[in-house]
Amino acid sequence: MTTPDEALAIVLENTPRLEAVEVPLVEAVGARLAEPVASDIDLPPFDKSAMDGYAARARDLHATPVELEIIEELPAGVAPTKEVGPGQCTKIMTGAPVPAGADMVVIVEDTETAGDGRVRILQADPKSRNICACGEDIRKGRTVLEAGHAVRPSEVGLLASVGRDRVQVYRRPRVAVLGTGNELAPITETPGPGQIRDANSWSLLAACRRAGVEAERLGVAKDEEADLREMIGAGLARDVLLVSGGVSMGEWDLVPKVFDAFGVAVHFATIRMKPGKPTVFATHGSGIIFGLPGNPVSTLVAWRLFVWPAIRKMMGHPEPAPPPVHGRLTAPVTVGGKRTTFMPVRLRSERSGWTVEPVTTRGSADLVGFSRADALAILEPGTYETGTEVRAVPLEL
């Protein structure tokens, strides 16, 4: 049976990176750049005051206190008209261009007014000139961001600074989510006999949104071939189709049969892991398809371990599956069976590093227990004492 590491490798090998698209600047946040970006100007574009104060000549300030004549006032956005000469200064605000002749800005806190258009400099530290030199951040024409770089709020600010109102990013996948099961009731109804509410189509939509993609909920299919065919058929046009439930060994678990009927290429249908054993991965043209286990915890575990990295790969992430963190168990743990267990835990940052605290859960249907976890410890069968270093996958990054 496929191991979790093998399964991840198969998923990533068979998942394409999507093409580049041009989007308006703010829509790029959460995506990855598909082009290197160069600056169209020097940054900063002029010698800029970093502080409110007085622009003066350092050689006039060797002995303090000293009085200087104020020849001009410069708010941000106003260009200087006068050169600062011996014994002179310009009153300057943060962000304003430093006038010719001046080579430092004395902060306003180190001055007092002397009346009659003059200022008294009480002290001046020649080591803090308080000037951001023209081009000191980046020179015109130089690359400020490489292709593949994450667009975060700071990159949006940088892209705006270098004149980009549109930018090329890797396209986000179009994702469709389908629940399956005759027993599933809508959120707004009290479940009848034998029914439970559909949790997974919603949790999977939410998981996709967290990954920066808007998924479409196709609804819930009955455990009937005709219904499954129609709804899975509709989802095959998407870049990613997520089907929850109907993939185990039961008589009514018809999803693999319907996948077969559509002629999709199934790469694996079970993984040697707990929970999440019945996880199916298939491809169809450039689209990828996951059959996720129906139990609400299992579906989210499989999503985190396999779907999330696939979505990141599609979006051009250079490291779709970051390595797990290492931490020490806060309690002894025994793992039975023969499969790799992904155990719900809480990660805490301590002075000595991360600690891994198992949370009490009643298994793969227990979303109450799972809600206390923020990571999955990766444990092979065996007995682990308190303090043992283990690996864990954070649920959210």
Provide φ and ψ at 375, rounded to 5°.
Answer: -160, 170
Task: Indicate which single residue of 117, 126, 157, 250 sits in contact with ligand AMP (rule: CB under 6 A).
Answer: 250
Task: Indicate which single residue of 35, 137, 183, 374 sits in contact with ligand AMP (rule: CB under 6 A).
Answer: 183
| 184 sits near ligand AMP (criterion: CB under 6 A) | yes
Q: Of ligand AMP, Mg ion, none, which one sits near residue 200, judging by CB under 5 to 8 A according to partner kind? A: ligand AMP
The position carrying tokens 């399956």 is 180
| 245 sits near Mg ion (criterion: CB under 5 A) | yes
CB of 249 to ligand AMP, least distance (A): 9
| 245 sits near ligand AMP (criterion: CB under 6 A) | yes
| 244 sits near ligand AMP (criterion: CB under 6 A) | yes
Q: Of ligand AMP, Mg ion, none, which one sits near residue 250, judging by CB under 5 to 8 A according to partner kind? A: ligand AMP
The stretch near ligand AMP (CB under 6 A) out of 57-65, 129-137, 144-152, 247-255 is 247-255
**Residue facing ligand AMP at closest CB distance:** 294
CB of 307 to Mg ion, least distance (A): 19
CB of 77 to ligand AMP, least distance (A): 57
The stretch near ligand AMP (CB under 6 A) out of 70-78, 134-142, 192-200, 230-238 is 192-200
CB of 183 to ligand AMP, least distance (A): 5
Task: Indicate which single residue of 39, 168, 279, 295 sits in contact with ligand AMP (rule: CB under 6 A).
Answer: 295
- Measure the CA–CA gap between 163 and 140, rounded to whole angstroms: 12
CB 245 within 8 A of CB 180: yes
Residues that bind ligand AMP (CB under 6 A): 179, 181, 183-184, 196, 198-201, 244-248, 250, 253, 293-296
Write out the residues near Mg ion by the rule CB under 5 A: 181, 245-246, 294
